[in-house]
Amino acid sequence: MLSGNEKHLNLRAFTNSQKHTLYEGQKGICNQCEESFNTDQMEADHITPWSEGGKTELENGQVLCRECNRRKSNH
């Protein structure tokens, strides 16, 4: 079922490689609380939400600590 809609062709989750690149670029600092975390305590997140057409690419990614990412998801 190919609709031609790019959103359906895009993978929603960031790869481990993308997460690592984002983590290194932010030097292990959460973009919300600005605290330092180990990579296993961080989650890759879309800046423009995937549900709103945000692409799963580095330019639209950031890493947040689990707590901040959960808090963001609740809004």
Which pLDDT score, from 0 to 100, does residue 33 have? Answer: 97
Confidence (pTM): 0.81
| pLDDT (tens digit per residue) in 17-35 | 999 999 999 999 999 999 9
* Domains located in the chain, CATH noted: 13-73 (1.10.30.50)
| Rounded (10°) CA dihedral 27, 45, 6, 3 | 150
Residues 23/42, Cβ–Cβ less than 8 Å: yes
Which pLDDT score, from 0 to 100, does residue 74 have? Answer: 58
| pLDDT (tens digit per residue) in 33-53 | 999 999 999 999 999 998 899
